[in-house]
Every structure is written in structure tokens, then in C-alpha cells.
Chain A
Amino acid sequence: MLRYFCRLLCAAALSLSGGIAETPAVIAIRNARIVTVSGPVIAKGTVVVRNGLIEAVGENAAPPADAWIIDGAGLTVYPGLIDAMNTLGLSDSGPMTAATGGGRRGGGPPPTTSSGPPAPPARGPEDRPLNTSYLLAADQISPSDRRIEAARNAGFTSAVTFPNRNIFSGQGAVINLAGERAGNMVVHSPTGMLLTMRSAGFSGGFPASLMGVIAYIRQIYLDAAQYKTAKEIYAAHPVGNRRPDYDKHLEGVLAAPRILLPAGNPKEIERMLRFGQELQQDTILYGLAEGYRAAGTLKRHNAKALIDLRWPEKSRDTDPEQIDSLRSLEMRDKAPSTAAELKKAGVPFAFYAGALTQPSDTSKAVKKAIDAGLPAADALRALTLSPAEIFGVADRLGSIDKGKIANLIVTDGELFQDRTKIRYVLVDGVKYEPAPEPSASPSESTR
């Protein structure tokens, strides 16, 4: 309750009274059921957290003398959830929908920014339209983004957060979902570049179509390769060679350790996998609404996939008399089975909640995937260790292991079940208590 009043105060005061100052440096949760994810479930054991890291975990781990004790009887400890793709902390970004650029009018215009006069329409790839490849999410994090608390209340302790406004949107970062300053929150950066198939629309300049976007991306990667070669040759032989122009758009492209490409249905999945291969980039696909039809293709390409937890639904604005095509009916029926199909095929995947209306919808969405055949343990993995592995941070996040970052959630029952409540959330060893019911609206109350 105290936190509500605090949030009316300024940010500094909030952080002082709201969490850090209250939280002891050493916490031991004992007599709890511990789901480590990386190993077998410990029926009754202790987790010790010291200075933001997991110091010990096990049946016989003893709480140190200086530890504050949480009695975990009847409670379960899980690793904190990781949202594999979101815009958390980035106030200038919209929801994370997979703009795959289908349809003959392109993927629609990008959301407009308010700053400055609009640039004239691009005349080609040379104008670098919709390219902010150099933008680092880590530089843009705003700890006061209210969505962060909502996500934390839903059990998320980390997120991979991406700028998402452009075709070359920029470089993502793994962040922890609590902290006084942006610098406290960043776990890893740059984590990968988000690409969208967004086009500028017919009057918005190049590219105005999906094929324009694809050709543009291809040209940028050719330019980046040439840029790299030119810089190397010039560095070795500055005399007698013309100096290559500095290009921040290409610097960003070269700095990305991997790329994320949108794909919903089998044709897009095949298209984007082939494209990633052509660009010689480590590629992760996101979206996957019809991924259940393409598990074999994904496996053959050794693909990694981020599954959108916002399952396709009948649009509420459609004419009630209109009957959808068999294809879209099938898709709405089967979309939640994508995870189960990928699991069967052995394709690494994670879930993302970035497109959900609110983070508290996560549990119900995951439950649908479980009902469609995904084992509950794999559902949990897809929100913990799997995203950590996919983004190369499994050495510090994703499971309850000694030495990893102390991101934990403590529940009074099985995660993803209707009645289960999250009692505590630990981020970097700092304890937070989600607001009691109705937990969906804390943000409303402070608006």
C-alpha cells in the first residue's frame, strides 16, 4: 500500500522509500518448493540471495546468520519470468506487434514521431529511410515507465526490450525490471537488432511495399559489407585511396550480434529464414501465429522462434454477419498449439508478451498453449531459460542456480493456474510485493 502513495512523489523519493532501502542485502527463502528450471524440482529447500545474486540453492542450503528469513512453507520459488520481446522502458515505442508486411498495401505507415519536421520522402535505399540501426535500447531506458511495474506484478523480472518504430529499429537490450537508474537495469547490450517489414506507404517515399522493404534491407547489408571492406582497406592504405564516408546507419547494422525478423505464416517463415541465411545473420523469427504449420521448416533451418502470446482473435470490429475464411478459422483455432508443435520438432522457442494488452494477461495466454499440448514445464522454460539461451544470457539469467542474478518469483501455487497468486518478486535481490487484487489496474490508479 505504501508504494501507492510513494508513486505520487518524485522518482527519487519513490525509489528510496519504495524498495531498495527497505530490502535487506541477504534474504533466505526456506522450506519452499523450488522450481530451478535448469535442474529437477526441489520439493523442500532454501534459496539464499546475497547482494543481488543467488548465493546458494538446495535442500540443505542453510540460511546464513545475517539473512532475513522468508518462510516459504506452502510457497513455490521460480526464476523470474523473461519477456523475450517488448518495448518496456522505451516510452517512445508502441506495442510489439509483428508487422510482417503482408497485404498489397504494405505494412502500413510507421507510427509518426512528434519530434521535428518530417523528413522528405526517401528516394531510395541511399536515403536510409526508416533506419535507426544505431539506436541502443540501453541508452533509451526510462525507469519510470509505468508498464515496468505492471510487468513485474505479472511475474516478469527481465525483458528483452527493443526500439520498434522502423525497418531497422535499433539494438535491443536485456534489462531487469526494477532499478533506480537505467544503468542499474541493463543486463546486456546490444542484444540484437529488430527488423520490421514496415513500409512508408504510397506517398511516404521508398520503400512503399513489402518487396521494397526486402530489397532495401538487402541493399543495406550489401552496403554494410562494402563499408566494412572499404574501411579496412582505407585503414591499411590511407595514401592514394579516397576516404569512405562515415555512415551511422551501417555502423549499427555491423554492430548487431543477431537480427530478429517477423514471420506469421508458413510462407513468411520460409521467406524470412531464407532471407536471414542470405544476409548471413544469426536470425530469430518473431510472431509465429501459424508456426504450427511450419515446425518442420523451422527445424530444417535450425531456427529460433519467439512466439507472440497474443493469440489471434476474431476482430471485434468486424461485421457480425461476415463469415471468415476457413484459413483464418483454422488459424484462430490452432495458433496456441504452435509452442507444442515446435517443442515436438525440437525447435528452440520463447514466448513474448510485448503484444498483449496488459502483462497480467500472460498467465491466461500461456495456459492456452498448455491446453493445446505444451507441457507446463516447457511453458515455464519458454519464459525463463529458453529466452536467456536464445539471447545468450543464460549464464546470468533464466534459472535458479548459484551465481546467477537473483531474479525470482514466489507464488502460492502452480504458475499459470487461475487461482495462483504471485506473493513476492525479487529483482536483483530486491523484494517487491505485487499489489493485491485487482492487480490488473495499479497503473490505472496512478494515471
Chain B
Amino acid sequence: MKFLLFLTAAALTAAPPIVIQNATVLTVTKGAFKGSVVVQDGKIKEVGEKVMIPPGAQIIDASGQYVMPGIIDAHSHIAADSINEGAVSVSSMVGIEDVLDPEDIGIYRALAGGVTTVNVLHGSANAIGGKCQVIKTRWGKDREGILFEGAKPGIKFALGENPKRQGNVSASRTGSGAPPVLRYPATRMGVEDVIRQAFNDAKTYQAEWKGYNERKARGETVIPPKRDLKLDALVEVLEGKRLVHAHCYRADEILMLLRVADEFGVKIKTLQHVLEGYKVAKEIKEHGAGASTFSDWWAYKVEAFDAIPYNAAIMVKKGVLVSLNSDSGELMRRLNTEAGKTMKYGGLTETEALSLITINPAKQLDLDHRIGSIEPGKDADLVIYDKHPLSSFAKVQRVLIDGAVYFERDRDLTERQQREQRKKQLLEKEKQSQPQQKKNAGPGRRPA
């Protein structure tokens, strides 16, 4: 608890300027050099080999260390109390924004792994899933405090095996003699149909409201149409106000989605997983979709078999905007080494590799004006490593978000002991009150 309070306090105080000195600065977009980064009012003020040190600045000596932009995970499911609304095939009425959990330990673990921005996605249980929420890993803040203010809203789509699962036949039969009621669709064609139908419904709905507004403007007495939260979100997709992040694996389903989207004039912002993206990189590029994939994680299901570790590198070389994501609270803590793997598999340069977890996912979230590189004017989301971040020996030393220090390795190590101590005390206290509690609890049966 003390730990939480301490962090909150640290983050709340109007921070003095910070200068990170003597570091190897990996800007990602403007090369790498030995020098300094000046942080003021939550933003990066100056970057260079020689910088002006503002009066009263706190100096962080990073001799022998490396500074890179905060890592961005374009696909995660941390910090949410529910992930899937899988009972229906179109669940665009639901949103992660309603179930954020700012106290999820996953946030702290991500932060300790250098991740500062996370796209928290709905799951892939249905063809059109729920709304997504971009957050910053401001551990210790409340819900309001972790939201990425001004981030463009998003939505999850999903193709392939997950959305075509019909539900549990035996479970829906329990107890009754009634036939099981299963979810549509059961095939990939069905998934396509669900998406097309949903877009058509959204267009009808859009027209219905347009008609109503016109009649009302003419002064007619009209009963307003119903607002439909499900279709509201899809109208936003049609109007380009909500970014589509689509879960997919196979080349055929990728092409299907791109064609359906083209038919409705919709841009798919990112293809997620996209393990066969290397087969259709040209088509992905033509559509203008980004691709967010794994480094070398596959074969966990049939549709994920035809994958290769060169996927990211091939797509990069074909001109697709590629990022690497975690989709896992564990993998999330070491996205830096995931990026490193693309140098071995596909021969990407250091900068290209780092881009996959910084500036590229920033672009995929339409947030590259705010985050993703070390440039003056951008949010001061910075990670300091003791070794080059693409090395598997590198450990995160400090993480800054908006110019405030949210993680320090040394502090973490001492607080672990304090927490252990506190835990022991509480266990002891509970043990001592135990015999009495048992007596108090009584036989404990509620009258029938």
C-alpha cells in the first residue's frame, strides 16, 4: 500500500526538469549518439550530444547506459476485468473502457519491462468484437490517470477459428430437452457474412438517423429512432473515426477482410497476429493496413502452423508498416528482445528492429505525433537500460512517463522486502485472530 501511495505522490508532484546525461540515446527516428535528453513539463525538450541544462534540473547520470523511447505494445489484454463478450458475433456495443483495472499488476510488470503505452484490445471470440482502449502504464494512478488522453478509439475484429466457434453444445443443452442454440457462424464464409451484414446494418442505421434529422430540421413531429450502441460504433468505423484492429492468421482470410473493407470504403488499420502476412504482404501494403505480429511464436493452433520467423522482416521489406506485439502479460515484459530476433531472422537493422516496438506501433495507433521516438516535443516516455536494449542481458533501470519516473529498479528491490515484511505481519495477525473467528462463525446455516 505504501508502495502505491509513494508512486502516486511521486507522479503527482509538479516535477522539476530532468536531464539524462552521458547515455547512448537511441532516438529510433534520428539515429543514435552519446549525449543527453532534457525533459520538461512532461515533454522531451531537447536531445543532443550537448544540451542546455535548465536551472534546478534533476540530473540522471546514465553513463554506460542506453535510453530509448517507451515501448508500445499494440496488442495486449492487461488492465481489464473482462476481455471477451463472446455470446454474440457482433459485440461492438461493449468496450474495454468500461472495465479498466488500474490496479492490475500486469501494468506494473509491463512498466518494469519498459512498456509505456498499451493498446488494450477486446478478445477474438467474435467476428466484430468490442471497443479497445489505449492506456499508458502510469502505475499507481486511477482509471482516469491511465487513459491515453486523446488517443483515437479502436475496435477489435477477428477472423478464422475463434469467431467461428459456435459455443458449447453440451452446455447449452443442460437440464432441458431443448435443442442447443448455437452461435452463428460456423465457417470462415460465415465470418465474412457477419462482417458484411454488420456493415450493411450500420449503413441502414446511419441513413435512418440522417432521415430523422432532416425531417426534424424541417419542423416535423417525428419519433426519434432508437439509438443502438452496437451500430453507433460501426458507423464510426464507416466514417473512419474508429480504428479497426483485426485478428487474423491465414492469407485467405486476410484477403477476404481487405476486400470486404474495400467494398465499404473502410480502412483496416492493423492486422493482428497476421502470421501468414508474408504471403500477402503486397496486398496488405496496397490496402494500407499495418501488421502487428509475433517474432517467433506459432503452431499453437492449426491456423497458426504456416508461420515463419521471417514474417516481420519480409513484411518490412515489402513496405508494410510492421510492429511486434505481446498478446501476453509475460511476453510483454521483454518486447525488446523480441525485436532483437528480427535481426537474426531477416536481417533487419538495429533501428528497424527498434522501430517494431516504438515508432511503428505508434503510427498504427495514429499516435506517432506523441510517442514512439526521442524527439523534441514528444511525450517524455523514456526507458533507461543498463545494456543495449536489443541484448537479452539488458535490464530496465528506470522508466519515465510524461517526464515522471514511474519505475526504478533499485526502489523496486527495496520495496520487495518491505512488502514481504508487511505480508508476514498480516499473516501473523490473522493467525492469531483465527481461533476466535472460528468460534464466531457458528454453525452457519441459513434457514431453508
Residues of A within 8 A of B (CB): 95, 101-104, 106, 112, 117-118, 120-125, 146-147, 150, 200, 202-212, 214-216, 218-219, 222-223, 226, 229-230, 233-234, 236-237, 241-242, 244, 265-267, 270-271, 275, 313-314, 323, 326-327, 329-330, 332-333, 357-358, 360-361, 364, 440, 443-444, 447
- Contact flags (1/0) for B416-448 with A, using CB distance below 8 Å? 000100110011011000000100111111111
- For residue B224, CB closer than 8 A to chain A, the reply is yes
Complex Cα gap A249–B219 (Å): 32
The chain B residues found within 8 Å of chain A, CB to CB, are 1, 80-88, 91, 93-96, 98-103, 130, 142-143, 167-168, 171-172, 175-176, 178, 181, 221-224, 226-230, 419, 422-423, 426-427, 429-430, 437, 440-448
CB distance from B332 to the nearest CB of A (A): 17
Say which residue of B130, B181, B229 sits within 8 Å of A222 (CB atoms): B229
Specify which of B94, B178, B222 is in contact with A214 (CB 8 Å cutoff).
Answer: B94
- Which of B142, B221, B441 contacts A270, CB < 8 Å? B142
Indicate if the CB atoms of A218 and B229 lie closer than 8 Å: yes
Measured between beta carbons, the chain B residues less than 8 angstroms from A266 are 103, 142
Asked if B168 contacts A211 (CB within 8 A), the reply is no
With contact pairs A211-B96, A266-B103, A329-B427 given, residues A219 and B221 touching in the complex (Cβ less than 8 Å): no
Known pairs A202-B168, A219-B228, A226-B227 / 8 extra A-B pairs, C-beta < 8 Å: A104-B82, A122-B87, A241-B222, A265-B103, A267-B142, A271-B99, A333-B429, A444-B445
Q: Is A211 a contact partner of B82 (Cβ separation < 8 A)?
A: yes
Across-interface contacts of A206 in B (CB, < 8 A): 85, 87-88
Contact indicator B94/A233 (Cβ below 8 Å): no
Nearest 5 interchain pairs by C-beta: A443-B447, A208-B87, A203-B171, A209-B82, A212-B85
Say how far B153's CB is from chain A's closest CB, in angstroms.
15
Which A residues lie within 8 Å of B88 (CB)? 123-124, 206
Whole-angstrom CA separation of A112 from B175 in the bound complex = 11
Please tell me if the beta carbons of A200 and B81 are within 8 angstroms of each other in the complex: no
Are A357 and B448 in contact, with the CB atoms below 8 A?
no
Residues of B within 8 A of A215 (CB): 85, 91, 93-95, 98, 130, 229
Q: How far is the CB of B122 from chain A (nearest CB, A)?
A: 8
- Indicate if the CB atoms of A223 and B99 lie closer than 8 Å: no
- Asked whether A211 and B85 contact (CB < 8 A) given A233-B223, A329-B427, the answer is yes
Given contacts A329-B423, A357-B446, contact A237 B221 (CB under 8 A): yes
A104 in contact with B81 (CB, 8 Å): yes
Q: Cβ of A95 and Cβ of B446 under 8 Å apart?
A: yes
Contact B176 A117 (CB under 8 A): yes
List B contacts of A121 (CB < 8 A): 87, 172, 181
How many Å from the CB of A92 to the closest CB on chain B? 13
Residues A214 and B98 in contact in the complex (CB < 8 Å), given A117-B178, A219-B229: yes
Nearest neighbor of B104 in chain A, beta-carbon distance: A267
Q: In the complex, which residue of chain B has the Cβ closest to the Cβ of A123? A: B88
Q: Give the shortest distance, in Å, between B222 (CB) and chain A (any CB).
A: 8
**Most chain A CB atoms below 10 A, which of B96, B168, B229:** B229
Can you name 10 A-B residue pairings with CB atoms under 8 Å? A95-B446, A117-B176, A202-B87, A204-B87, A211-B130, A215-B95, A241-B223, A242-B223, A330-B1, A444-B445
Residues of A within 8 A of B178 (CB): 117-118, 120
Bound Cα distance from A230 to B175, whole angstroms: 41
- Bound together, the chains give a CA A225 to CA B298 distance in angstroms of 49
Chain B residues near A104 (CB, 8 Å)?
81-83
Q: How far is the CB of B81 from chain A (nearest CB, A)?
A: 5
> Once the chains bind, are A200 and B93 in contact (CB under 8 Å)?
no
Bound-state CA distance A204–B87 (Å) is 7
Residues of B within 8 A of A443 (CB): 447
Q: How distant is the Cα of A219 from the Cα of B171 in the complex, in angstroms?
A: 28
Contact B143 A270 (CB under 8 A): yes
Q: Are B99 and A326 in contact (CB under 8 A)?
A: no
CB-nearest residue of chain B relative to A232?
B223
**Separation of A230 and B227 alpha carbons in the complex (Å):** 13
- Say which residue of B82, B83, B230, B423 sits within 8 Å of A124 (CB atoms): B230
A7 to chain B, nearest CB (A): 12
Determine which of B143, B422, B445 lies in contact with A357 in the assembled complex, contact meaning CB atoms within 8 Å: B445
* In the bound complex, CA of A242 to CA of B222 (Å): 10
Given contacts A202-B167, A203-B168, A241-B221, contact A209 B85 (CB under 8 A): yes
**Which residues from chain B contact A103 at a C-beta distance below 8 Å?**
81-82
If A117-B176, A124-B230, A211-B95 touch, whether A267 touches B102 (CB-CB below 8 Å) is yes
Contact, CB under 8 Å: B426 / A329: yes
- Residues of chain A within 8 A of B445, CB atoms compared: 357-358, 444
Q: Give the chain B neighbours of A95 by CB distance below 8 A.
A: 446
Which of A203, A234, A244 meets B167, CB within 8 Å? Answer: A203
Find out whether the CB atom of A361 lies under 8 angstroms from the CB atom of B442.
Answer: yes
Min C-beta distance of A132 to chain B, whole Å: 19
State the Cβ distance, B163 to closest chain A Cβ, in Å. Answer: 14
| Contact in complex: A447, B448 (CB < 8 Å) | yes
A440 near B167: Cβ-Cβ < 8 Å: no
Residues of B within 8 A of A314 (CB): 430
Residues of A within 8 Å of B168, CB to CB, are 202-203
Q: Name B220's closest neighbour in chain A (CB-CB).
A: A240
Decide yes or no: A147 and B176 within 8 Å by CB, A214-B94, A214-B98, A326-B426 being known contacts.
no
Q: Is the CB of B426 within 8 A of A358?
A: no
Alpha-carbon distance between A240 and B299 when the two chains are bound, in angstroms: 62
With A226-B227, A267-B102 known as contacts, the answer to whether A333 contacts B426 (CB < 8 A) is: yes
Chain A residues lying within 8 Å of B419, measured Cβ to Cβ, are 326
Alpha-carbon gap, A357 to B168, bound state (A): 35
Cβ contact of B81, chosen from A210, A229, A234, A333, cutoff 8 A: A210
List residues of chain B with CB within 8 A of the CB of A112.
175
What is the chain B residue whose CB lies nearest that of A361? B442
Q: Are A229 and B426 in contact (CB under 8 A)?
A: no
CB distance A209 to B93 under 8 Å? no
CA distance A314 to B84 in the complex (A): 29
Which residues of the other chain, A, contact B448 by a CB distance below 8 angstroms? 146, 447
A223-B226 CB under 8 A given contacts A103-B81, A212-B87, A237-B221: yes
How many Å from the CB of A233 to the closest CB on chain B? 5
Residue of B nearest to A243 (CB): B223
**Contact of B437 with A125 in the complex, beta carbons under 8 Å:** no
Question: How many angstroms between the C-alpha atoms of A329 and B426 in the bound complex?
Answer: 6
Closest beta carbon of chain B to A176's beta carbon, Å: 19
B429–A125 touching, CB < 8 Å:
no
Q: Which residues of chain A are within 8 angstroms of B430 by Cβ–Cβ distance?
A: 314, 329, 332-333
Residues in A with CB closer than 8 Å to B83 are 104, 209
The answer to whether A209 touches B84, judged by C-beta atoms less than 8 angstroms apart, is yes
Bound: A357/B444 CA distance, A: 5
Contact assessment for B426 and A222 in the assembled complex, using a CB-CB cutoff below 8 Å: no
Query: Across the two chains, which residue of chain B brings its CB closest to A360?
Result: B442
